[in-house]
Amino acid sequence: MRNFENIYIDGAWVPSEGSGSIEVINAATEQVMGSIPDGVASDVDRAVSAARGAFDAWSQTPVEERQKYLVRLNEALQARSAEIAETIAGEVGMPITWSTMIQAGLPAGNMATFATLLDSFEFEEEIGNSLVVKEPVGVVGAITPWNYPLHQIICKVGGALAAGCTIVLKPSEIAPLNAFILAEIIHEVGLPAGVFNLVSGNGPTVGAAISAHPGIDMVSFTGSSRAGKQVAASAADSIKRVALELGGKSANIVLDDADFAAVIPKGVFACFLNSGQTCTAHTRMLVPNSRYDEAVEIAAAAVAATQVDDPTKEGMHLGPLISQAQWDRVQAYIQKGIDEGAVVAAGGLGKPEGNETGYFVKPTVFANVTNDMTIAQEEIFGPVLSIIGYDDDDDAVRIANDSLYGLSGGVWSADQDRAMSVARRMRTGAVDVNGGSFNIAAPFGGYKQSGYGRENGPYGIEEFLQTKSMQR
């Protein structure tokens, strides 16, 4: 049990000016595992004032000095890796084996990458008689989600710190404890006061105050498309820069020459990781009509072999969803799929046998799905896979692009060149070709209603910079 009674502003733990608190619920036990302050708008005012006061000095800090802080933060994240993994396994429900690798491992890896990139990142260049310099955008408001909570925080905080910005962070109130651990780490490594500030609370209060605040120069938001639209609209009054990483409904195209027995189970995994609570989840599997029944049979068998169990146990199983609200949402989508004529090939409604306590769901595969169905168009955020048939490569690309979203996707083929040709035609920010692994130094972001802006690697530093030209 971790009960945090204070927020972090100007290098100190201070009480919120609000009087409430928010309980954090363990996804597997449905019991309270901690609490945080329920912050208010005046807390944001104090945090912004601190960030503005620290900006001039921090933005002028030599790159080498900023790099030293990032290195120390990486080391401290690694030192507390087990605690972070255990905390997020409870908050989110990702099993501890995965949580150690992903929820704790990726944030430390990202921080290390940002530090290394500062060895070679070019903050200025000569163009004719102009010196073009890249300067920090200013005070950054970061609003982050619950599904990969610390990873998404570090994508913003690491890039902003490397760029020379100061930060006001609002983590998700559903999975916030890891953010407080980060604030403890930042305090321990001695980051200058005001450079990083943490205000906890709900989106309509603290998130809205950050988005609209005239003292914030940029807001970087990861979350739902609905909330992202509100952030962008609120930020428009002060013409602040906005970066949005929103929803996805990614298509995984399995071409007719692929080894179905090998790649279909991998496609199921690409949908089900973190119990489907992944914005890049490959939730639409597109297969040739000529091999449709074969694909459904293999997918159903893969689901039958998928275990759902306690996230505190080691192993590659699936854990619960994060909350009762998310459980209800996923059940409603499964029912909607049935109502609209899709066929449950595996899984279905209700909880898996033996998992009555906790927000567990049955991993589900739908067959006979057409791309106009609700389950093929809307982001479910649960382990629900829709298998859709296509006629030829052109038809597969058409179906893949027939979506409001464009965040991720996949292509499988025995012919790498053919797979790359199809990948180039997909209107999406990232494509995994024949199972290409996630690259933390590559740009991450979406097309269409999946948002705009890019995180990770040099693009994740560039995102927090302004460009100035000085003519001589």
Instruction: Please check the confidence at residue 112 and state whether its pLDDT lies above 90.
Output: yes
Is 245 annotated in the active site? yes
Q: Which of 91, 173, 245, 463 is an active site residue?
A: 245
Q: Label residue 293 by pLDDT band (50, 70, 90).
A: very high
Q: What is the mean pLDDT of residues 167-174?
A: 98
% of residues, the chain, pLDDT over 90 = 100
At residue 418, the pLDDT reads 98
Q: Label residue 169 by pLDDT band (50, 70, 90).
A: very high
Domain boundaries, the chain: 2-246+450-471, 251-439
What CATH code is assigned to 2-246+450-471? 3.40.605.10
pLDDT in tens, 319-345: 999 999 999 999 999 999 999 999 999
Instruction: Please check the confidence at residue 190 and state whether its pLDDT lies above 90.
Output: yes
Q: Which of 271, 279, 379, 463 is an active site residue?
A: 279
pLDDT in tens, 220-260: 999 999 999 999 999 999 999 999 999 999 999 999 999 99
pLDDT in tens, 133-158: 999 999 999 999 999 999 999 999 99
pLDDT in tens, 353-390: 999 999 999 999 999 999 999 999 999 999 999 999 99
2-246+450-471 and 251-439: identical CATH topology: no
pLDDT in tens, 39-86: 999 999 999 999 999 999 999 999 999 999 999 999 999 999 999 999
Which residues pair with residue 326 across a beta bridge?
A: none
At residue 1, the pLDDT reads 83
Indicate the class that CATH gives domain 251-439: alpha beta
Is 165 annotated in the active site? no
At residue 94, the pLDDT reads 98
At residue 296, the pLDDT reads 98
Please state the separation of Cα 276 from the chain's center in Å.
12
At residue 318, the pLDDT reads 98
